[in-house]
Structure 1
Amino acid sequence: MSDSDDEPLYEARLWRDNGWTAQVIKNEDDEGWAVAMFKAGESEPALVGPWTMGRDKKNPKPLDVNAFNTLVKTASEVIRRHEQQLHAQLNKALYVARDGNWLKITLEIVPAEDDPYAWLAALDAAGGKLAQVKVPAGFKLSQSAAEAWVDGGFERPAGRD
């Protein structure tokens, strides 16, 4: 990526500013137009949506500052929601009550390409780590599994590599 790819650019069908690029493209599916939003450094668009036709009903409406800012806001929200969903898929937590205390049991999946795995951990009410063991990425954290782990003295769950 050259330095010129970071410079602001304001053309009718291509805007680049503040780490984002909006590109108006011909819609492959019909006669209309679409706009693709790219975050700097990404090869895939964060957002693709329909784009308004211009007055001549043939060409797209030119990009402008208000449209660009709205597109950046929308694309940023799409990325944020995707990151939240991914975080939720990779991190689970539940609570186990023992001896009048609440323990937080967490499972954090590490999606390594070659050998994914997960960390099963127990934290006390103050957030201090009581125990942590490595488990397979496919380990299912359920209430019964968490309780069995706590009751077993935080030993690595049996039959789990």
Structure 2
Amino acid sequence: MSTNFSEEEPTIIQEPRLWRDERWTARVIKNEDDDGWAVAMTLAGETEPALVGPWTMGRDKKNPKPLDAPAFHTLVKTASEVLRRHEQQLHAQLHKSLKLDTPAGRLQVLLDIVPDDDNPYALLTARDEAGEQIAQVRVAAGFRLNEASAAAWVENEFQRPRS
């Protein structure tokens, strides 16, 4: 029986300047901007911290306060919220939607940007009130979806808009 060591379980660590659970690592680091300390929260598998914030000085006013369970749990909650907000912001940038009243009924027009490094593009989609797709075309990633551009697309019988 062979063991695959590339998928090892993360080691749980609870030290004064380093705490780690299955998902998060909190590391107390010297603040580069001043004499104080900071804490960096990094999600497992990531190279960059999701959150870096100030950390409290210890009683000697020279060394950092040691990490403990309540502080770690608060940091995990805060870092998770930062990631969630970042994902929501990215989703909002890549997916836009508006409703448009037309003679044929109300349509939902969606713009979904595909952020490909070499060839980014977007899909412009029209759905009827039942949610059925009635048209879809590929457009430039920089296409601006607004009421006027959506109305022009519908009036042009869903032909691909010119760039």
Q: Deviations over 1:24-62 (max 9, x none)?
A: 000111111000000011111100000001111111010
Q: Which residue of 1 aligns with 2:39?
A: 35
Pairing 1:57–2:24 present: no
Mapping of residues 82-101 of structure 1, within 5 Å: 82-99=86-103, 101=105
Q: Give yes or no for contact 2:9–2:22 (8 Å, CA) kept in 1.
A: no
Q: Distance in 2 between matches of 1:31 and 1:5?
A: 36
1:103 aligns with 2:103: no
Letter in structure 1 aligned against 2:25 = T
1:73-106: CA deviation from partner (whole Å, max 9, x where unpaired): 0000000001101111111111111126210000
So what's the TM-score if we normalise by structure 1?
Answer: 0.94
- Does structure 1 conserve the Cα–Cα contact (< 8 Å) formed by 2:121 and 2:138? yes
Q: Extract structure 1 runs of 4+ deviating beyond 4 A.
A: 1-5
1:134 partner SS: strand
Q: Counterpart of 1:20? A: 24
Q: 1:9 to 1:55 in 2, by over 3 A?
A: same
Distance 2:18 2:9 in 1: 12
Structure 2: runs of 5 or more not aligned: none
Query: Could you say which residue in structure 2 is the equivalent of 1:126?
Result: 130
- Structure 1 window deviating more from structure 2 (5-14 vs 104-113): it is 5-14
Give 5+ residue unaligned stretches, structure 1: none
Measured in 2, the distance between the counterparts of 1:13 and 1:2 equals 26
Q: What amino acid is the match of 1:18?
A: E
Distance 1:103 1:140, change over 3 A: same
Structure 1 match to 2:84: 80
Q: CA deviation at 1:2?
A: 6.0
Question: Aligned partner of 2:139: which letter?
Answer: V
Give the whole-Å Cα distance in 1 for the aligned partners of 2:39 and 2:99: 45
Q: 1:118 to 1:17 in 2, by over 3 A?
A: same
Cα RMSD (Å): 1.5
Task: After TM superposition, give the deviation of residue 18 of structure 1 in Å.
Answer: 2.8
Instruction: Return the TM-score normalized by structure 2.
Output: 0.93
